[in-house]
Amino acid sequence: MDSKIIILLIFISILSYQLHCCTAQPWTKAGYWYAGSESPIPDINSALFTHLICGFANVSSTTYQLSIPPEQEQYFSTFTNIVKSKNPSVITLLSIWNGQATTAKSILGEKVNTSVLSSMLNQSSCRKSFIESSIKTARQYGFQGIDLFWLWPNTASDMTNMGILLDEWRAAVDSELRNSSESKLILTMALYYLPSFEFGSYPIGSIQRNMDWAHVVAYDYHLPLNEKFIHAHAVLYDPSSNVNTDYGIRGWLAKGFPPNKLVFGLPYHGYAWTLVNPKENAIGAPSSGRAETEDGSMSYKYIKSYIRGYNAKTIFNATFVMNYCIIGSTWINFDDVESIRAKISYAKQKNLRGYNVFQVSNDDNWMLFQAAQEEDNGPEKKRRLLLIIMLPTALIIIILAFMMYYIRDRVL
């Protein structure tokens, strides 16, 4: 074959590969729905999501098998069918919670009741019981995947045994598929915002190997029940502290965790603090504790209604990437559309897999999702469209040039 034709075919292959790469990257749009929340399942606009996670299943302290609270069983049994009625392609997951804390806790290290999962991890028979039960329960209620929400491993052995659990879990899921006509269950898990604790690091190799993706819980850094000075609970940056999402994400990537398996956690809630002095309201100002609710937490929907009721002004702080408002002595921090857009842009810049919302029913008429969608469809979409237009055009021009050169060469 003529060497010019060979070169042309190679060039066409390279262009085709580049075109495929720029259009085939998945973007995960996931969200939690909490059974028993104010918003019923039919109100979820599942067409806006690629994955929906129903929480939470409990773990028995004696058998280490999953159980669904009897009063919530109706929600778990109907969740998949209802959300798929609006979006047949949405993937549903059953989430497993590590246990209820007796008091409000932040993800900065306060202890919660994790003894059940820690005990389960320590023995192969207990892990086997947990794994088999998780697969059986997911199938029983029609879920297509399983999510593990455990942010507080307490010891180095917890980390080591977690890696073993994930290897065994993946092997069991693969084995179950060979004996089932259904699609393979996907596995996901929540991650603390940092890859390391004072006693060790997450089993990153095992997570990467066995999880379809993992989502960083990038919120609840600062809570009014735990601290005496106001601070935003989900800052992207913090000039004076390493307690921020950017520091955590960069830590995960520096440890070698693949960005295409890392999902950015977005909070659809905020916290209300009581200022000691309403005139002192900058980050770090003294606080006497929570305001408005038992622990200060407020859904985005409630926050927007609260703000409208007082005709208050919302302020966006670009340094920390957070929104807040001040009403008398009440200081409320949360993510509004500006923060959401900035975080989606950040996730795109870091080539992350997508985002995961906690929780979907907290949105106010899907305003936050629309902000995320607009940012997703912004510069990145324009770049992809430009590539889609330019690459075929360039290909046609190159083919014509080669044809003209080839014809001229034959004539001469």
Note the pLDDT tens digit of each residue in 162-175: 999 999 999 999 99
The CA-to-CA distance between both ends of the chain, in Å, stands at 19
Nearest 10 degrees: Cα torsion 382, 388, 394, 400: -150
3-state class (DSSP) for residue 178: helix
Compute the mean pLDDT over every residue in the chain, rounded to the nearest whole number. Answer: 88
- Higher per-residue confidence, 202 vs 39: 202
**329 has a pLDDT exceeding 50:** yes
pLDDT, tens digit (0-9, with 9 covering 90-100), for 110-128: 444 457 899 999 999 999 9
């609260």: which residue's tokens?
A: 306
Helix (H) or strand (E) holding 323: strand 322-327
pLDDT per position as a tens digit, 182-231: 899 999 999 999 999 888 899 999 999 999 999 999 999 999 999 999 99
User: In angstroms, rounded to a whole number, what is the distance separating the alpha carbons of residues 257 and 232?
Assistant: 27
Instruction: Give the pTM.
Output: 0.85
Q: Which residues of 66-90 are buried (b: 16+ CB within 10 A; e: fewer)?
A: bebeeebeebbeebbebbbeebeeb
Q: What is the pLDDT of residue 227?
A: 96
Cβ–Cβ under 8 Å, residues 54 and 378: no
Question: What are the tens digits of pLDDT across the range 343-377?
Answer: 999 999 999 999 999 999 999 999 999 999 999 88
Beta bridge partners of 145: 93, 186
Q: Check residues 378 and 369 and name the one with the higher pLDDT.
A: 369
Write the secondary structure of 106-142 as one string of H (helix), E (strand) and C (coil). CCCCCCCCCHHHHHHHHCHHHHHHHHHHHHHHHHHCC
State the Cα–Cα distance between residues 371 and 365, nearest whole angstrom: 12
Question: 54-58, 292-296, 390-394, 403-407: which range is least confident on average?
Answer: 390-394
pLDDT of 23 > 90? The answer is no
Here the tokens at position 123 are 């023995």
Phi/psi of residue 298, nearest 5 degrees: -145, 135
Between CA 131 and CA 147 the distance in angstroms is 12
Domain 27-268+336-411: CATH architecture, name and number where available? Alpha-Beta Barrel (3.20)
329: left (phi over 0), alpha (psi -120 to 50) or beta: alpha
CA distance 250 to 238: 14
> How many Å apart are CA 176 and CA 180, to the nearest integer?
6
pLDDT at 388: 52
User: In terms of pLDDT, which residue wins out, 30 or 20?
Assistant: 30
Dist. CA 405–CA 2, nearest whole Å: 13
Kindly state the tokens that stand for 392.
């075929």
pLDDT by residue (tens digit) across 263-293?
Answer: 999 999 999 999 999 999 999 999 999 999 9
Which tops the pLDDT comparison, 22 or 57?
Answer: 57
Which of 84-88, 342-346, 362-366, 386-390 has the weakest average pLDDT?
386-390
Q: What is the pLDDT of residue 103?
A: 35
What are the backbone angles phi and psi of residue 411, rounded to the nearest 5°?
Answer: -65, -40
For residue 376, the model assigns a pLDDT of 86
